[in-house]
Amino acid sequence: MVLIADPVLPHKARELLGALAQLALFCSSEGLPVNAEVWLQREVIERFIAVGCPHVEESTRGNYRSRLLRLREVVFGGDCVTGEPAKLSGSSRNRPYSRRELADLWAWANGQPTDELRWGCKTLLALGAGVGLDSPGVIPLRVHDVRSSPYESGAVVVATRGERKREILCRRPWEPVLAAAAERLTAPGTASYLFRPNSYGRGTNTVTNFLARTKPSQGVPRLVMGRLRTTWLVDLFNARLPITVIVAAAGVDTLHGLSRVLPCLAGVPADEAARLLRGD
């Protein structure tokens, strides 16, 4: 694709390759086929910009967009008729699930045709909406990373792996689900993976490949780990947890990564806002 674009200067080629590489990783994580006509769809590019690179500066995201759209125009010609580009600050693909949608997803998970699919879906729901993990956080987890809290009776703690190691207390409604998911796999001398315990080839597509095997249900939204994490974050903000607690649990270093949830937060009545601002 970059060769077709015929960049005049080496640094232009590097810029196009860099943007295309990031898009390729995103499309792979989404389970999309390796196909230029799919990758360079305007809708795919806009989705990548909105939810596929949340940890980069907005200016970098803008550069990615312009380079990929320029590459699309060179490869396929013309602009598509899908309207104006989506705004960088918001995306329906990243909005939190409503309570009704979570209930529908729970019923969908329990209605899957096999025990493996049922427990896999329920485990993803508990890890996303209950602990705020995204796919990279889910994939390496072992059964013994889920344990009882030494501080609160009945509480469940998840010890994450990777670069953002931390311990996260599960939200109360999801505690029994997560505890049951771990308990059913516990056996002496084993260190099974919590999600897809029989799959030993752990790759970036582990979650998306699993979800591709699930049976869809009309009217039920797709299970997307990013949306579950947003749901968890919004729940924490609306519960008025201290921002330092949320930042630590979310595993982020700055507030920039949390700014996308601000439009989703519940409003505060004027009288209550006044009372809180005054310090009463």
pLDDT in tens, 100-127: 999 999 999 999 999 999 999 999 999 9
Per-residue CA distances from 106 to 53, 97, 101, 110, 223 (Å): 28, 12, 9, 6, 10
CATH classification number, 95-264, choose in 1.10.443.10, 3.90.650.10, 3.40.50.2300, 3.40.50.720: 1.10.443.10
Distance from C-alpha of 227 to C-alpha of 224, rounded to nearest angstrom:
5
pLDDT digit string (tens) for 179-217?
A: 999 998 876 555 689 999 888 778 888 999 999 999 999
Q: By three-state DSSP, how is residue 167 classified?
A: strand
Summarize pLDDT for 64-76 with one digit per residue, the tens: 888 888 788 777 6
Tokens 């005049």 belong to which residue? 8
**Listed residue (212, 232, 214) closest to 133, CA to CA:** 232
pLDDT range class, residue 232, cuts 50, 70, 90: very high
pTM as predicted = 0.67
pLDDT of the residue at 55: 74
- In this structure, are residues 261 and 234 in contact, taking their beta carbons and an 8 Å threshold? yes
Judge whether residue 230 has pLDDT over 80. Answer: yes
Q: How far is CA 272 from CA 91, 157, 169, 278, in A?
A: 29, 33, 29, 10
Retrieve residue 71's tokens. 């590459």
Rounded CA Rg of the chain: 21
Alpha carbon distance 2, 13 (integer Å): 7
Q: What are the helix and strand counts (H, E) for the chain?
A: 13, 3
pLDDT band at 8 (very low <50, low <70, confident <90, very high): very low
Note every long-range contact of 233-237, with CB atoms under 8 Å and residues 24 or more positions apart, other chains counting.
233/96, 233/132, 233/258, 233/261, 234/96, 234/261, 234/264, 234/265, 235/96, 235/129, 235/171, 236/132, 237/261, 237/265
194 vs 149: which has the higher pLDDT: 194
